[in-house]
Structures are given as structure tokens and as C-alpha cells.
Homo-oligomer: A and B are copies of this chain.
């Protein structure tokens, strides 16, 4: 016996229609090399509609993958909507991928066209001969002086749009593919995650609840997270759905310009990875940030010292989110429950260091690795974090990486976590970054967190290196803050009261910088390679 409710598919076109009418005057601001460009949802929706005709004029197939190689801009946002609304698939390309990875993902996805910002063309163009299926490179002129080759594959965005008629869109099947994003691939080749209209719709609604970011019409949202990173954390869809204004930083992704934008555009919500918040803090001090209500940080664990510095200096701690490309990406958000109001700041700082609560729609379990035996939520026992829900991947494109899904349909996140009885997640480490020593595990993340609380330490990454007796022992790789000094002995002494004695790193090496992946995370793989033969001191 079915309900008698309308079979109204959850797709993006009616959301576009609605924003175009109801939020016609809301602002979309894009920073450029020389200033800012302003448009409105009304005008922008017109661009989204004309892109549909432009895709036709390019001869793209009905379900074409449409690549983008672009900064966060209103034009990029228009592609985010035009591709799926026209029945095609947006494929955001990470501009920081290594060339061979970029070639791999473009060919794996079989992109037919790539839309590229003129300022990024010099990065992309040399690779075009390696792209098997790309027939057009559409250049979006952002005023950069980069040379545009005289080549039949080159199309100018302005020419393409000139005379393109606005299209009405309609999608009947909510499960149709809407967008794809490849995982950064710390092991093996990048793997494609394929979002559907339904998953993006539900993910956006979730982001609009207080369980996630409570994005609302009065918000002015600054996605610092690149739009090519993990579905832009949903910030390319939820603001359009809720009528929030957007401030898009374009190529101005440096801490100084970002801090200026936050102040000048009265940003209420800004979201980015820890490294950007680390670098931005000195630039933010002394500004009028009274508009800011939420600083979202994800991508890597947020050092407690960083969040506390924000609270102390700006009056607003960082709110931590957890997710992956495979989870659309919002898997949890650390909004503190009301019963914690009034607790001492020290206690709250510790609670803020957690990854927080899964919103409704994300089922969570921790399991004994390589089993489906669910472990208790007592905040003590740790196990692999697995998730399930309508915006969680069921598979990778073309069947890659099948081992990342359990037989009973959950995604294996590769994260090791404990969960407390109210459902708050505390990540301990990545499965593969745990340091196995004498049959016990040491969390590299915990050690890093403590090290980065030392005033002389800018960044710290801890890896396991081979040890004749203990199998593995921790090695701390430390980047000192500019002008600061510290010795190994000082840092070990600093750690001593904070962790178990057998967790203390066997050695500390000082390095110039921690190598990063294409999405800005610590690349421990690179560190492990670099220190593979490292001999730990004995005794």
C-alpha cells in the first residue's frame, strides 16, 4: 500500500527555477585579479540557461562529461548547474593534480570538453594532446595575460554564449548522474565518485539544517574550499537552494585577499581547510568581522591550538566538519549540543577538536577492521569508521576500488575513530597512518595535534619508521614557525606530560615544509618515502 504523494523527482532544475525567481536580486560576488565582479542570481540563472544551448552548439552528447579547470567564480558555478540541469555530468578537475593524474582522470571520465579559466590555461594546454576524448577547450577570460593558442580546439566562452538562447530544463529521473569528482588518490589511481541529482538535493537540504551549517537566506557564504575539491563541500548547491549570497574568491586564494573579502563583503560563513585558516589568522586580526557567524574547517583534523587561537583572537572558534569526496562530502559536523552551553572553555576546546555529529541521513558505525562487527559507542574503543546514506557513494566509476565498500553496503572510510554515546565522532587516524608498535597502535594525529600546540611549531607530521624491535616507531617531522627555534629535547619534554610515555617519538627531524597532496593535505606517503631508510637513535 503506497502513499498517495506526488512522484516529484528530487532534481536540480526546479531549484534553479526557484532561485531565479525568488532570489533574483541576491548577490553573487567574484573576486578578480583587479577587484570584484558582481552579478545576481537572476542574471546568473540566465547564464546557466544559455549554457544549455551552448552545450548543444558544441555538439556534446546527451550525457557528456563536462570538465572544468577553474577557480571559484560565478561562471564556474554556472557550469555546476548547467551541466546537470541539461542532463550532462559536471567533472571538476583539480588544478593541482600532477600532469599524469590529470591525463588519467580526463581520459577515465571521457570528458568531451573542458572549460578553463584563461589564467589556468598555461597549466592545462600542454596536456591537451594527451586527452583522448576532449574535442573543445573553452577559455573563460579572467583578464589574465596568458596567451591563447590559435588552435581549432579553442573556443572563447564569450563567443560560445553570444546568441545562445536560454533553455528551460527538466530532469525526470532523480538518480541520473549530475556530477563527478575524483578522489585525490593517496594510493593508486584517482577514483571517480558520481553524484546524482537526488544525492545533491538531499545533501543540500541537510546543509541547510542546523545539524550541518544552517545555511539561510541571510547568509553571505565564502567557499574558500576550491570548487574542484570534494563537490565544493556542497557550497555550490546549498546557497542557491537557500538564497544565500555567495562570495567567490576567484584566483585570490591567498590569506590576505581572503581576509579582506570577509570584512568588505560582510561574510557570515566561510569554509576552508586548516592550512588556510592557519595562514589567515594574522590577516584577520584587527578587522571588523562582526558579520561572521560560522567558520567551517574540514579536509584534515583541526589542531586544537588553531581553533582556540580563533576563539581567543576573533571570538569565534572553528567548527570542524568531517567528510570525503565519497560522502558528498558532509559526513559529520561538530555543532555542540545545547547541554554543553556554559561548560569551561578548556573542556569545550577538547570537545571542539572532535569531528562531531553525523546529520540525519548519515548512518555511522565503527567496526573491528576486516569484519562487520559493530563496536560500542563508548568513546574508548576505536575501529574503522563506516558510513551509509543517500549521499554516500555505493561504488566508484567503472567499478574501481570495490574493496572500499562492504558486502552489506557501507562505505569503508579508511578512518579510525571512536564514537561517544551521543554519536560524536573522534577520528584517531587514517587506517594506514596509524603507527603499529609492539602490537599496539599510536595515533599520528594525536601526536601532531600536541606538537602543533607548541608555539615554535608551525606544522608537524608524525610517521612510523621501521624499528628492529618494535616493528615501527614514531618519527616527528617538524616545521618551525618563522623565526622560532626549538630543539628535539624541548619538544619531547613538551609532549611528555601530554601522551603515554611509549607514544613519545623516538626522534624529531626539522624540515622546511610538510609535503602536501593536490588538495592540501599532509602527504605522509611522501614523508614515508623520504624517511624510509631513516635510522632511529637507540636507547
Contacts and interface: CB of A to CB of B under 8 A. Distances in A.
Given A176-B1, A392-B6, A394-B6, A217 B377 contact: no
B5 A390 contact: yes
A269 interface: no
Interface string A161-189: 00000000000010111100000000000
A521 interface: no
A18 B176 contact: no
B177 A3 contact: yes
Given A6-B409, A63-B1, A242 B209 contact: yes
A481 interface: no
Contact of A178 (B3, B195, B243, B397): B3
Given A21-B423, A423-B21, A4 B338 contact: no
A397 B421 CA distance: 42
Interface in A478-516: none
Interface string A227-244: 000000000000001110
A14 interface: yes
Nearest to A392: B6
A381 B329 CA distance: 44
Contact of A357 (B22, B390, B392, B409): B22
Contacts of A22: 357, 422-423
Contact of A388 (B8, B23, B202): B8
B208 A209 contact: yes
Contacts of A361: 8
Nearest to A7: B394
A25 B338 CA distance: 12
A contact patch SS: loop
B5 A196 contact: yes
A216 interface: yes
A146 interface: no
A274 B393 CA distance: 46
Contacts of A422: 21-24
Residue among A10, A360, A361 having the largest count of chain B Cβ atoms under 10 Å: A360
A15 interface: yes
Contact of A205 (B4, B205, B242, B243): B205
A254 interface: no
A193 B5 CA distance: 8
A2 interface: yes
A337 interface: yes
A202 B509 CA distance: 53
A89 B393 contact: no
A393 to B, nearest CB: 6
A24 B422 CA distance: 8
Given A22-B422, A360-B241, A377-B21, A4 B393 contact: yes
A4 B209 contact: no
Interface in A35-70: 63
Interface string A371-394: 000000100000000001111111
A206 interface: yes
Nearest to A5: B199
A214 interface: yes
Contacts of A411: 6
Given A21-B421, A211-B217, 17 more contacts: A2-B175, A2-B176, A3-B198, A4-B194, A4-B396, A5-B392, A6-B392, A8-B388, A18-B363, A22-B357, A205-B206, A208-B208, A210-B216, A210-B217, A211-B242, A214-B216, A217-B337
